[in-house]
Structure 1
Amino acid sequence: MTPLPLVSIVCLCYNHERFLRPALDSVLAQTYPNLEIVIVDDSSTDGSVRIIEEYLQQHPRLRFISTGTNLGNTRAFNKGWRASRGRFVLDFATDDVLLPDRVTQQVEQFQRLGPGYGVVYSDAEYISDDGQHLYLHSQKYTAAPDGNVFADVLRRYFICPPTMLMRREVLEDLQGYDEALAYEDFDFWVRSARKYQYAYLPQVTTQRRVHQHSLSSGWYQKGNRLLASTVQVCEKAARLIQTPEEREALAVRLKYEARHAYLSGNFTEAGQLLGMLKNLLGQPPFMYRFISLLNRGKIDLGFLRALYYRWRYGR
């Protein structure tokens, strides 16, 4: 009987004291038998390390890496996966929760696929700060594509990042996450989907927690460095596109990001995105030429975005 492939779960912790126990318990409760569990603490300032030390005493098979200084998500994860040995790697933030059959289901999916598939992703349940159900990812982001998803990842958001199981050779090929960036998922999707195929598992495998300290909570706040990383990823994507469909998909992304950058007062990033849109299309639609004019004058229309969010989401 062929032995099951080793799967490495890299557990990333930064000030997750409130959520750490259920997160680690969910990793230990996995039904998949051949696991390597690597906990990386990115210099937490709360009681996270004390809790991790308790788990290390109770479960000697756990491995622990302390970064020594706060590195950020991309660099901390790279330390973890490079210290691991698994054929498949799971990037797990310890404010989320894995359902018990998560790894089993995704490895079974990989074993039905050809070697050209680099990522299996799935549905997820979003939960509140206190663990209450909010909604399913599939209810909000419809049509999860399979196969060559490069144009899809350029065009729109549809993958719930913590649901991904990655083939190790993908990370080795990409040399891990780009450590110059403030966040990893968009860049990873663009670079990996150019070469590898993706497969969707239509099962809820993960609970993703939504709380005020999560990375995405301040995405378009003025001066947020996440947006600067988005600009860099769009520049990479522009060098990778090969077809008219991919060009159109990147234009959709640039329009979306430019609108939000401008309306959130991030004028520098808005100008960069609008410049890329002009280079891509030659003559952007009138609305974006008008936004470019307003952006150069730093005319703040952020109240329009605030009104829309109040109407659309009640906040």
Structure 2
Amino acid sequence: MSATRLPSVDIGIPCYDYGRYLADAVAHALDQDGVRVRILIVDDASTDDTESIGRTLAASDERVRYLRHPVNLGPTATFNDAVRWASAEYFALVSADDLLAPGALARAADVMERRPEVGLVYGEAVDFVDAPDRSSIGDPVVERFSNGEEWLTRRCVEATNTIRSPEAVVRTRVQHHVGGYEQSLPHTHDFHVWLKVAAVSDVVRLGGPVHAWYRVHGDNLSIRQIDGLETELRHRHAALSLFFAEGWVPESLGADLRQASGDRLAALAIDGANRLLDTSGSSTAADDLVAFAAEVGQPGRFACSMYGLRRRSGRWWHRSGAAISSRVVRRLRSEIAWRRWRRLPD
């Protein structure tokens, strides 16, 4: 990074009824050394005190702008206002209830200044409830580079989004090239964006110091907590399907990745169905998961697993020793798979 020129970063802060968090989010975004920042607060017609707080913040610092929707347009429209506004070299989208860690933007910008082929840099987002854990701020930075195809392949094979948004910084021209957030994907619009970015550029994950803090509270529960695993998996499938349909990767690669992601989602659905039967014995939600697995997995590949699930429909099975041993085996397999996944760079 040049000693005489500071990279520029535009930060969009979407807000709906998060006025109680807004000033803290803006303060953490402004307090970023080594970069020039601008902030756009996009208020999606909040009904709390967001408007008065946002206007006060904008009036007190020329780097802050405030935009209010006259009516509620929803998250994706709010995000896309920030995307269209961005004109700096780099762009970040940070929800009003989340916080950027000190130095996060400078670390990301430094990578992209040195590596013009990189379009996405992200670090670690740590959950917090009341006060963020700042213990890792001074840790050494570990830079993990992936070419776009490698990173994209991992995400499709795992069918999992590993970025929650506040920890991500995108090269603005790349963001504009791939477009904004898709309204038809209410819960996986960000996953869709990361896939598109990886299709046209390389990716770096920064280990070490925390990059952002993700606030956990009752208003931002995951889709799984609200509507269940089947709904979550369907939303993931929708993001992946749209990505492949849009033709961001050659058909020869896309066909393989499409099938791999479908098989992974099917496996997750079958595992979820088994867990439901282990814990509650209820077959309705498990049946829905099995039906989803049949939709997205390769025909015949999961036939044995589905047959096993059908055999478990009676309560006698749960009282048997076979059920107990099966639970233990599945738990061990899940833990082994999790540990293997953690060793892979994201």
Per the normalisation by structure 1, the TM-score is 0.77
From 180, 192, 197, the equivalent of 2:202 is: 197
Alignment RMSD: 3.6
| Separation of aligned partners in 1, 2:272 and 2:46 | 32
In the other structure, the counterpart of 1:121 is 122
| Separation of aligned partners in 2, 1:144 and 1:3 | 25
| Separation of aligned partners in 1, 2:135 and 2:103 | 20
SS in 2 for 1:10: strand
The verdict on how the C-alpha distance between 1:33 and 1:120 changes in structure 2, with shifts beyond 3 A counting, is: closer
From 160, 164, 169, the equivalent of 1:165 is: 169
The verdict on how the C-alpha distance between 1:87 and 1:80 changes in structure 2, with shifts beyond 3 A counting, is: same
| Separation of aligned partners in 2, 1:236 and 1:293 | 32
In the other structure, the counterpart of 2:17 is 15
Q: Is the 8 A contact 1:7 1:87 kept in 2?
A: yes
The verdict on how the C-alpha distance between 1:176 and 1:150 changes in structure 2, with shifts beyond 3 A counting, is: same
SS in 2 for 1:275: helix
Shift of 1:62: 1.2
Shift of 1:231: 3.2
From 288, 295, 315, the equivalent of 1:275 is: 295
| Separation of aligned partners in 2, 1:135 and 1:243 | 44
Number of aligned residues: 289
Q: Is the 8 A contact 1:126 1:134 kept in 2?
A: no
In the other structure, the counterpart of 2:107 is 105
Once the two structures are superposed, what CA deviation does each residue of 1:268-290 show, in whole Å capped at 9, x if it has no partner? 7864553121xxx2322235534
Normalized per residue, the structure richer in helix is 2
| Separation of aligned partners in 2, 1:151 and 1:135 | 33
SS in 1 for 2:42: strand
In the other structure, the counterpart of 2:41 is 39
Query: Following superposition of structure 1 onto structure 2, how do residues 181-192 of structure 1 map, counting pairs within 5 Å?
Result: 181-183=185-187, 184-192=189-197
From 207, 211, 217, the equivalent of 2:213 is: 207
Query: Following superposition of structure 1 onto structure 2, how do residues 67-82 of structure 1 map, counting pairs within 5 Å?
Result: 67-82=69-84
Residues 1:179 and 2:183 aligned together: yes
The verdict on how the C-alpha distance between 1:46 and 1:269 changes in structure 2, with shifts beyond 3 A counting, is: farther
Per the normalisation by structure 2, the TM-score is 0.71
Q: Is the 8 A contact 1:74 1:177 kept in 2?
A: yes
| Separation of aligned partners in 2, 1:47 and 1:270 | 45
Shift of 1:266: 9.0
Shift of 1:4: 3.2
In the other structure, the counterpart of 2:260 is 248
Q: Identity, % of aligned pairs?
A: 21
Larger Rg: 2
SS in 1 for 2:285: coil
Q: Is the 8 A contact 1:17 1:46 kept in 2?
A: yes
